[in-house]
Amino acid sequence: MSAMTHVGEDSPRASAASTSTGSDLGGKSSSRAIRDQAARIIMWTAFGIAVIPLIWILASTILKGGHMLASVDWWTLSQNGITARREGGGAAHAIQGTLMQGAVTALMSVPIGVLTAIYLVEYGRGRLAKVVSFMVDILTGVPSIVAALFIYALWVTTFGFQRVPFAVTLALVLLMIPTIVRSTEEMLKLVPNELREASYALGVPKWKTIVSIVLPTAFSGIVTGILLGLARVMGETAPLIILGPYAKSMASNLFGGLMGTLPTMINQDRTEALQPAIDRVWGAALTLILIVFVLNLLGRFLGRFSKVS
């Protein structure tokens, strides 16, 4: 068959409708058709390979940790007084710690992140805006361990404070700000200019236009960005290892004492060879994945209601 047939069958519109695979791989097909077919197979295989770890990790954690989550104790009890040898106890302390630190992190980074994005989109002009934008990019690339070391150098070495949960949240803020800035920026840019102009034409001052026209229009998109950022920092472990030692009992004081979290709970028991400890590690891993995935998918779901896209 000639190459002409290929053009027809392989044009995006035709394949979107029928998803038919390459047409004629009979004995007389040209090397071009073979190459085309090979490329198609490679792309499908690549996707298959990329999906394997995700499915494998999910399957492992569910199979090995699922039974832990089935008990009520897991969600209501802490590990207080329970050794690696003993079964029982729960992860309530770690879940509470992770959620609490996540919430406080969000509380600090959302205003800074959203305001920075507003600056970049609505106000930023000239040199400073370029510098801010560049620095946000650099912050995006700062490894979590470096963020943790910085907070350690500031909080512990310079100020002489103890390693407390609040220091962890400071390090997480550093990691969450760029995610929020970037996603908010993107959403603000999508708000049609006509809305702003209409508001200006009615004599509404700029700040009021931003607060009551621009932000509400972009709201659900901004929330999506925040949830995705939150999902990212909740799974971070490096700052916890440097700044937030693990504790087995319930804790709610951010400024004193130790606080257990899911990542440090995994880290605590991961080297144990005893079955109860291994079960707990898988249980904590599954709980952490669940929290992160729920936040993630919730964010995406909310994004669907965005007024701008």
Partner 1 sequence: MSTSITGRSLVDDLPDPDDHGHPHEGDRAGTGRWGDRLFGGAAKGSGIFVVLLVSLVGFFLVIQAVPSLMNNNANFLTSTEWIPSGSNPRFGIAALLWATVITSVIAMAIAVPLGVAVALFITEYAPTWLSKPAAVIIDLLAAVPSIVFGFWGLSVAGQYFEPVKAFMAEYLGWIPFFADAGPSAKSTLAFAGIILAFMILPIITAISREVFNQVPTAHKEGALALGATRWEMIRTAVLPFGKPGVISGAMLGLGRALGETLAVMILLSALNPNAPWSFSIFNGGETFASKIALNAGEFDSPQKTGAYIAAGLVLFILTFVVNSIARVVINRRKAFSE
CA atoms within 13 A on the CB side of 72: 0
Q: Which of 91, 95, 168, 231 binds partner 1 (CB under 8 A)?
A: 231
For residue 246, the tally of other CB atoms under 10 A from its CB is 21
Rounded distance between C-alpha atoms, residue 80 and residue 193, angstroms: 57
Q: Which of 142, 162, 212, 216 binds partner 1 (CB under 8 A)?
A: 142
Rounded distance between C-alpha atoms, residue 73 and residue 135, angstroms: 46
Q: Which residues, 31 to 70, sit near partner 1 by CB under 8 A? A: 32-33, 35-36, 38-40, 42-44, 46-47, 49-51, 53-54, 56-57, 60-61
Residue 146: both structure tokens together: 């470096």
The yes or no reply on residue 140 touching partner 1 (CB under 8 A) is yes
Closer of 21 and 80 to partner 1 (Cβ)? 21
* Residue given tokens 């409708």 in the structure block: 17
Q: Which of 89, 102, 229, 283 binds partner 1 (CB under 8 A)?
A: 229
The yes or no reply on residue 103 touching partner 1 (CB under 8 A) is no
Q: Contact at 8 Å (CB) between 39 and 56?
A: no
The yes or no reply on residue 290 touching partner 1 (CB under 8 A) is no
The yes or no reply on residue 260 touching partner 1 (CB under 8 A) is no
Nearest to 186 by CA among 225, 213, 217: 225
The yes or no reply on residue 192 touching partner 1 (CB under 8 A) is yes
The yes or no reply on residue 276 touching partner 1 (CB under 8 A) is no
Rounded distance between C-alpha atoms, residue 267 and residue 237, angstroms: 9
Rounded distance between C-alpha atoms, residue 2 and residue 73, angstroms: 68
Q: Which of 68, 95, 104, 120 binds partner 1 (CB under 8 A)?
A: 120
Q: Which stretch binds partner 1 (CB under 8 A): 66-74, 80-88, 89-97, 223-231?
A: 223-231
The residue count for binding partner 1 (CB under 8 A) is: 128
- Nearest distance from C-beta of residue 97 to partner 1, angstroms: 15
Torsion of CA 36, 40, 41, 42, to 10 degrees: 100
Q: Which residues, 159 to 188, sit near partner 1 by CB under 8 A? A: 174, 177-179, 181-183, 185-188
